[in-house]
Amino acid sequence: MADLSKYRNIGIFAHVDAGKTTTTERILKLTGQIHKTGEVHDGESTTDFMEQEAERGITIQSAAVTCTWKDHRLNVIDTPGHVDFTVEVYRSLKVLDGGIGVFCGSGGVEPQSETNWRYANESGVARIIFVNKLDRIGADFLRVVKQTEDVLAANPLVMVLPIGIEDEFTGVVDLLTRKSFIWDDSGLPENYVVGDVPADMVELVEEYREKLIETAVEQDDDIMEAYMEGEEPAMEDIKRCIRIGTRDLAFFPTYCGSAFKNKGVQNILDAVVDYLPAPDEVKPQPLTDEEGEPTGEFAIVSTEETFKALAFKISDDRFGALTFVRIYSGTLKKGDTIMNAATGKSERVGRMCEMQADERKELSSAQAGDIIAIVGMKSNVQTGHTLCDPKHPIILEAMVFPEPVISISVTPKDKGSTEKMGIAIGKMVAEDPTFKVETDQDSGETILSGMGELHLDIKVDILKRTYGVDLQVGEPQVAYRETITTEIEDSYTHKKQSGGSGQFGKIDYTIKPGEPGTGFIFASKVVGGNVPKEFFPAVEKGFKSMMDQGVLAGFPVLDIEVTLTDGASHAVDSSAVAFEIAAKGAFRQSIPKANPQLIEPIMHVDVFTPDDHVGDVIGDLNRRRGMIKDQIAGVTGVRIQADVPLSEMFGYIGSLRTMTSGRGQFSMEFAHYLPCPNSVAEKVIADVKAANAKKK
């Protein structure tokens, strides 16, 4: 068995373009995993292996790679920075023990880094900070350090100081050892010289070194007492204190450099080994019951325990279906039988492998602390499912994913591709829990829902390139409904005489608006035998069958109450069919008289915005006919809750990001139906009539 203390499971996360993928690439080169570094802007980096990633220069899905540094095994996950793909960051953080937050030296703490930092806080993941791109114009290390305090409410522990800035940036000073690391201009990471602190930096280095030691020794009372009495702690004691504080999220060791120019990446790798926790040093994962409630037990990270693992990602690549798994306890060998706790099904593990981005290395066994991929699992495993020993079934705390916020309707351009599209979308939904598909019952269209326009754009692109399905993409339809506003008393007679026995049914009735959400209610107050009891169900059926199509624009009708008050029947000509037809005629006759009205779906919208954009966001929601319900202030911004018509919310994510410089986020869910303003109703009705005329 491998020594768990030599394992580090880490993720690299940041805002778009802060340099995560480039940093990952440099780590792989330094640890000897690759011999030539590929650049993101050339579309050649190891972890961005999807066609769409290479073309756009962005990371879309997280990729796992394994490497070794100073006898430690590092499992590294490179995650996307774009807000549309935060699910990849969220699920990666769930299974990692530590992280590297990368910030741009000139851009500073950008919006998506805030979101990812918040996710990491929720997951309790220890982090180190790397301020990248210090060779850029406008870069300022100490300004970014200050921003992490102000914007993220974090406590950065400065470990190095930069030598020179922008195009003068040549290296860093390590505060603990008081040594300088200066790289030459060859661009090779190994070409550096260790020397003394530059003369003009001595005072600054001493000032920051003192702050560093003062903060670190707070983790150990005895060492702190000795330090207060003027005794400097030994180097291993300081490092031990930093390790404890990092693990407990008391502070975040902060480094700087330029990944692109190969400067400062070694310090990061040393920090990962020195300060980030091993798998058995982090808080163990809680176990839950079937309802998701904690049982008070935990998945202890140990090879001695029974097998417990979490499937955190499903992927379908050129070799078949892969299930990415983080093993929390126990061991797994090829040929072992494991159980999917969510479905109760067991299966044998045929093949498992260690992933190097899109390459794979076959394994015969794996153990607690490992992140591996199992090939071709059959038991319908989905993201967040627990895999365990069949003799000791358990459930690990599940993952909660945000609901999709934007939808589009799609139809295959080629009618023969419908089945192909169905199979492809099925695979994609299994891979991405924030991507949903449904068929609109009213229009018969396939509706795809996701986290943003870019998210859906990529999905349509994958369907076209990977699965060969070309789609026609349309605007989604708003599900309008109709109702009535006035109570009406009316009477209707259905009479038909054409040789032989005729048809006769007369009904007197009232129709009135029902309570919102009640749908259709039918009652009878007929006393005496004017309408025989056996015909009541036929009258109800007749009215109910007409609810599917309203009189204004053909939308379904909601919330009406019909009461049968009287009527008349004929001993020979009356029948159930006659009364059903009478009820249908009565609906057509009376609903137009009862002031019918178009109603629209209202969404409950929850918007998160930084403080300085609250006014813009509220003004915009008001323009969208929104009703502001509440404002809740938080550490890094304000949550605004409002009810807004769905028809006004299309394209909202784009407007919100523009207004808040990309820092705003929102979620929405259906709340209720409310009447449309006349101007909106008139336009919708006119559009429906025009579309119907076109069909004819």
Helix %, strand %, coil % for the chain, to 5? 30, 35, 35
User: What share of the chain in percent tops pLDDT 70?
Assistant: 85
In-domain check, residue 230:
no
Task: Indicate the pLDDT class of residue 18, thresholds 50, 70 and 90.
Answer: low
Q: Which domain holds residue 615?
A: 600-680
User: Do 290 and 270 fall within a single domain?
Assistant: no
Task: Indicate the pLDDT class of residue 42, thresholds 50, 70 and 90.
Answer: very low
Query: What integer pLDDT is reported at residue 44 of this predicted model?
Result: 46
User: Do 263 and 326 fall within a single domain?
Assistant: no
Q: Which two tokens stand for residue 458?
A: 């990529």
Query: Residue 296: helix, strand or coil by DSSP?
Result: strand
Each residue's pLDDT tens digit, 72-83 = 888 887 666 555
290 or 218, greater pLDDT:
218
CA distance 259 to 600: 52
In-domain check, residue 228:
no
User: Do 466 and 379 fall within a single domain?
Assistant: no
Does the pLDDT value for residue 225 go beyond 80? Answer: yes
Each residue's pLDDT tens digit, 370-411 = 888 888 777 677 777 888 888 888 888 777 776 665 677 888
User: Do 28 and 76 fall within a single domain?
Assistant: yes
537 - beta bridge partners? none
CATH number, position 424: 3.30.70.870
Domain C-terminal end among 357, 388, 419: 388
CA distance 265 to 262: 7
In-domain check, residue 215:
no
286 or 43, greater pLDDT:
286
User: Do 295 and 160 fall within a single domain?
Assistant: no
In-domain check, residue 207:
no
User: Do 455 and 366 fall within a single domain?
Assistant: no
Query: Residue 149: helix, strand or coil by DSSP?
Result: helix
In-domain check, residue 693:
no
Rg (CA), the chain: 32
User: Do 370 and 500 fall within a single domain?
Assistant: no
CATH number, position 319: 2.40.30.10
Give the containing element (helix H, strand E) for 366.
Answer: strand 365-367
Terminal Cα distance for the chain, rounded = 74
Among 549, 545, 552, 547, which Cα is nearest to 581's? Answer: 545
CA distance 198 to 147: 27
Backbone phi, psi, residue 644, to 5°: -135, 140
Averaging pLDDT over each range in 45-54, 494-503, 603-612, which range is the top one?
Answer: 603-612
In-domain check, residue 178:
yes
User: What share of the chain in percent tops pLDDT 90?
Assistant: 27
Alpha helices in 548-669 (DSSP H): 576-590, 614-623, 652-659
Does the pLDDT value for residue 33 go beyond 80? Answer: no
- Domain count for the chain, please give it: 5
Query: What integer pLDDT is reported at residue 136 of this predicted model?
Result: 83
Query: What integer pLDDT is reported at residue 62 of this predicted model?
Result: 53
User: Do 335 and 264 fall within a single domain?
Assistant: no
Are 210 and 239 a contacting pair, CB within 8 Å?
A: no
CATH number, position 588: 3.30.230.10
